[in-house]
Amino acid sequence: MLNLKIKEATKNGHQELEKNVIFKLKAIENNLDYADVLKYFYAYFNAAEGNIEAALPASLASYYATRRNASHVAKDIIELGGSLENLPEVVLPTISTKNQAIGALYVLEGSIMGGPHIVKMLQHRGINSGFNFFNGYGDQSMEKWAEFTAIINAEVAENDEQEAINAALATFEAFTNTFNSKAVIS
């Protein structure tokens, strides 16, 4: 199953990204600090989503139209009193085929799974708003993840799986690099 192969292959990349995200989350002291951290998510998701959408097959259009996206992060940034200016630099991996788009989307969709833990961490730091993005699909998050993994497992042929895996690896690396890019100034 492709989702399990991607999960195994990207374990180190996932841990590296998580380490960078947690480091920034632990430095949050107020809503504007949180808005600045969200700019990294917004910059990356906003840049990646267009490339992913352009490469996805029509068979995934209805799924893609209902998924959580960068607009949720933008809403949180504004709600927290931040702005969509002064975003970090983003360099995307190549996302030009269906399999690359699916590999990249695995990383973006997978971020919903850690959202509830991030919300709790932020609430312990006194942050009580700006959770549209990290709340994922709410009570339906596990159901939506299962739907997504079933789709990608059916969509990618076994001999094309490595292309999706490589794209997921490159997506984790590029997302991590975004978190290591120039500091965001409010």
- Cα distance between residue 20 and residue 22, in whole Å: 6
Mean of the per-residue pLDDT values of the chain: 92
- 182 in helix, strand or coil? coil
Q: Residue 123 has what pLDDT?
A: 95
Residue type, 136: G
How many CB atoms are closer than 10 A to CB 89? 11
- Cα distance between residue 45 and residue 70, in whole Å: 5
Q: What is the mean pLDDT of residues 110-125?
A: 89
- 141 in helix, strand or coil? helix
Among 93, 54, 82, which Cα is nearest to 176's?
Answer: 93
pLDDT band at 153 (very low <50, low <70, confident <90, very high): very high
Q: Residue 63 has what pLDDT?
A: 86
The answer, yes or no, to whether residue 186 has pLDDT greater than 60, is no
Query: Are 122 and 72 in contact, with CB atoms under 8 Å apart?
Result: no
pLDDT band at 88 (very low <50, low <70, confident <90, very high): very high
Taken in order 172, 177, 178, 179, is the CA torsion positive or negative?
A: positive
- Cα distance between residue 164 and residue 98, in whole Å: 8
Residue type, 133: F
Distances (CA, A) of 81 to 78, 130, 158, 170: 5, 10, 46, 32
Query: Are 160 and 99 in contact, with CB atoms under 8 Å apart?
Result: yes
Taken in order 137, 143, 147, 150, is the CA torsion positive or negative?
A: positive
pLDDT tens digits along 22-74: 999 999 999 999 999 999 999 999 999 999 999 998 888 888 888 889 999 99
- Cα distance between residue 158 and residue 74, in whole Å: 37
**167 token code pair:** 């794209």
The answer, yes or no, to whether residue 184 has pLDDT greater than 70, is no
